[in-house]
Amino acid sequence: MSQAMRNPVGAEPVVRASRDTSLSRRRLRTWIRLLRATHRTEQQLREFLRLRYDTTLPRFDVAAALYRSERPMNMSELSLMLLVSNGNTTTVVSRLEKDGLAERRLDPADRRGVLVSLTEAGRAWFAEVAEAHEAEVNALLAGFGHEELDSLRDLLRHMEGASDDPSV
């Protein structure tokens, strides 16, 4: 069963699942809602990056990891950090390198290894794109105030089993 919540005049009633709905079913519905929200937001960000900067989300993610790194990274580290295959990372790094945004060089500690880092142009490009990306995320989540963001963060942390570090 479900019960209607009061809404402003003329609005459709909000229907909430009652306690009669199984917890398992409610968890499934919540998971689907999380997937929808994530997919919709990610698609909007992909489109933003494509239209405004002629780039992709994977290129942005690789550049972000390299930008944050205090030192050049080997491809395996980068792949692990991004949770993608070495092949995917190599393809993205090759495109960044072709565009003059990243560079590869032999790892002096491992002659078989390659280190990758952003070029100065890559760092400048990423700083510009990251600022615009933050503004776009801010616009996408503009409906959330401090309290809602704190609640959402805490729920997601609980779901992940993460620590209570408020900086995350």
CB 60 within 8 A of CB 93: no
Query: What is the spatial distance between Cα 95 and Cα 113, in angstroms, rounded to a whole number?
Result: 19
**CB-count exposure of residue 148 (10 Å: 0-12, 13-18, 19+):** exposed
Judge residue 95's burial from the number of C-beta atoms within 10 Å of its C-beta, 0-12 exposed, 13-18 middle, 19 or more buried: middle
In this prediction the pTM is 0.77
In a structure prediction context, what are the per-residue pLDDT tens digits for the chain, which is 168 residues long? 344 444 455 555 555 555 667 999 999 999 999 999 999 999 999 999 999 999 999 999 999 999 999 899 998 899 899 888 888 899 999 999 999 999 999 988 888 889 999 999 999 999 999 999 999 999 999 999 999 999 999 999 998 886 555 555
